[in-house]
């Protein structure tokens, strides 16, 4: 067993098996449609990377068997699946349910869920992405919906042997704290909902749930319960709601990425230390491969991480390893396995081959 857990986020859009995804990607191959159909922008910029494995359906268990084998071989031993719930039912579950969980070798690695409870907008539709983004589905849910979601997590995922656990507790991350609190009706109601989830998890024979907070820029609104006291800051909110740990999803949520990758990574490294001091729960460092979301837009977006080569990515992994060694934490989250349209992925491409995966292997694979 390796010393560190390297957990890569998975954006489960690279399949056409979800019928509701066709409103964004009508060609029936998921967001591979956006990756495949890149064109030169008005200023001459062309994003022209291609997946070395081709435009594969990641809800196909045979495809995932190959990906699991490659991940484990290079030191990635956990997948974090972005998980969605819109219009009172799940969305884009296919990659997890039909791909990963039906792969014959899925028990070779572990997985957990990040509830991506943000609003779904026309940002996903490149034909409309340069306009004001219209909300297609709201991410906030009521208590009744939350309980349906929680029971689904427990029944389908938490009790699986290879579901990722910390101190025996299945881990679930929550992406958008604002939507969570808004939907549930305040801090006090949100606290009660999370306690309910913990109790339900115990009824399933587990010691409770480990709820992980996804930190953005560290600033929050002045949240309160309906009759409760205002929450002073984000670390107080995390404590009040009973979260068990903190991590991030992407460097772009933490610092300016429109510059050299190593320059941004230096600022991120300082933030790791700051977050570790400010919160009363463990902080698990995030390492992002890069940033450039021009693939999602017709017009040029001037925010691109420069020089995010595998060599520079490896330097950031070494910094994360050093942070873990100093603080005693063992989990590192990585953005991501397959965020192609944000140019932050470990999957091999025609530019660097297996370079990003080899960087993970060189730092962690021999542990």
SS3 string, the chain, reads CCCCEEEEEECCCCCCCCHHHHHCCCCCCCCHHHHHCCCCCCCCCCCCCCECCCCCCCCCHHHHHHHHHHHHHCCCCEEEEEEEEECCEEECCHHHHHHHCCCCCHHHCEEEEEECCCCEEHHHCCCCCCCCCCEEECCCCCHHHHHHHHHHHHHHHHCCCCECEECCEEEEEECCHHHHHHHHCCHHHHHHHHHHHHHHHHHCCCCCCEEEEEECCCCCCCCCCCCCCCCCCHHHHHHHHCCCEEEECCHHHCCCCCCEHHHHHHHHHHHHHHHHHHCCCCECCEEECCCECHHHCCCCCCCECECCCHHHHHHHHHHHHHHHHHHCCCEEEEECCCEHHHCECCCCECCCECHHHHHHHHHHHCC
pLDDT value of residue 243: 98
Q: Is the pLDDT of residue 104 over 90?
A: yes
- Exposure letters 100-123 (e unless 16+ CB within 10 A, then b): bbebeebeebbbbbbbbbbbbbbb
The pLDDT, as a whole number, for residue 326 is: 97
Strands 78-86 and 331-335: unpaired
Query: For the residues 250-257, what does the mean pLDDT come to?
Result: 97
**Beta-strand relationship, 245-248 and 210-215:** parallel
Residue 131, pLDDT score: 81
- The answer to whether 310 touches 359, Cβ cutoff 8 Å, is yes
d(CA 46, CA 42): 10
Q: What is the pLDDT of residues 7-50, one digit of tens each?
A: 999 999 999 999 999 999 999 999 999 999 999 999 999 999 99
167 has a pLDDT exceeding 60:
yes
Q: What is the C-alpha to C-alpha distance for residues 361 and 16, in angstroms, rounded to an integer? A: 31
Cα 246 to Cα 263: distance, rounded to the nearest angstrom:
23
The neighbour count for residue 230, using CB atoms within 10 Å, is: 11
Q: What is the pLDDT of residue 342?
A: 98
Tokens of 9: 């986020």
pLDDT score, position 222: 60
Give pLDDT, residue 365. Answer: 82
Q: Which of 114-118, 161-165, 235-239 has the lowest mean pLDDT?
A: 235-239
The pLDDT of residue 12 is 98
Residue 26's alpha-carbon distances to 18, 20, 21, 30, 298, in angstroms, are 11, 10, 8, 8, 17
Model confidence at 81, in pLDDT bands (50, 70, 90)?
very high
Beta strands 78-86 and 5-10 are: parallel
Q: Residue 351 sits in a domain of what CATH number? A: 3.20.20.80
Q: In total, how many domains does the chain have?
A: 1
- How far is the C-alpha of 63 from the C-alpha of 27, rounded, in Å? 20
> What pTM does this model have?
0.97
Q: Is the pLDDT reported for residue 238 higher than 80?
A: yes
Segments forming the whole domain that contains residue 334: 5-365
Q: What is the pLDDT of residue 133?
A: 87
pLDDT in tens, 171-225: 999 999 999 999 999 999 999 999 999 999 999 999 999 999 999 988 776 666 5
Residue 277 above 80 pLDDT? yes
């Amino acid at each position: 067993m390796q010393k560190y857990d390297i957990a890569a986020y998975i954006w489960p859009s690279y399949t056409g098996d979800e019928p509701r995804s066709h409103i964004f990607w009508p060609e029936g191959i998921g967001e591979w449609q956006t990756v495949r159909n890149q064109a030169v922008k008005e200023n001459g910029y062309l994003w022209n990377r291609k997946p070395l494995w081709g435009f594969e359906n990641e809800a196909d268990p045979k495809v995932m068997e190959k990906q699991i084998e490659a991940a484990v071989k290079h030191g990635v031993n956990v997948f974090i699946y972005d998980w969605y719930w819109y219009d009172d039912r799940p969305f884009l579950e296919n990659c997890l349910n039909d791909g990963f969980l039906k792969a014959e070798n899925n028990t070779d690695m572990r997985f957990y869920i990040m509830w991506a409870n943000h609003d779904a907008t026309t940002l996903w539709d490149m034909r409309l992405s340069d306009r004001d983004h219209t909300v297609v589905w709201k991410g906030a849910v009521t208590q009744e919906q939350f309980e349906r979601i929680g029971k689904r997590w427990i029944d389908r995922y938490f009790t699986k042997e290879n579901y990722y656990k910390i101190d025996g507790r299945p881990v679930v991350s929550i992406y958008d704290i604002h939507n969570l609190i808004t939907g549930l009706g305040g801090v006090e109601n949100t606290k009660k909902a999370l306690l309910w989830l913990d109790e339900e998890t115990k009824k399933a024979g587990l010691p409770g749930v480990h709820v992980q907070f996804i930190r953005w820029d560290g600033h929050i609104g002045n949240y309160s319960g309906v009759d409760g006291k205002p929450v002073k800051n984000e670390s107080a909110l995390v404590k009040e709601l009973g979260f068990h740990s903190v991590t991030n999803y992407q460097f772009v949520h933490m610092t300016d990425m429109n510059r050299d990758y190593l320059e941004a990574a230096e600022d991120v490294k300082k933030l790791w230390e700051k977050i570790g001091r400010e919160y009363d729960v463990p902080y698990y460092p995030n390492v992002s491969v890069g940033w450039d979301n021009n693939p999602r837009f017709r017009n040029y977006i001037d925010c691109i991480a420069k020089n995010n080569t595998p060599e520079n990515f490896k330097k950031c992994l070494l910094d994360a390893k050093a942070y873990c060694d100093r603080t005693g934490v063992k989990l590192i989250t990585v953005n991501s396995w397959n965020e192609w349209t944000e140019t932050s992925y470990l999957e091999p491409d025609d530019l660097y081959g297996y370079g990003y995966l080899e960087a993970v292997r060189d730092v962690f694979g021999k542990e």
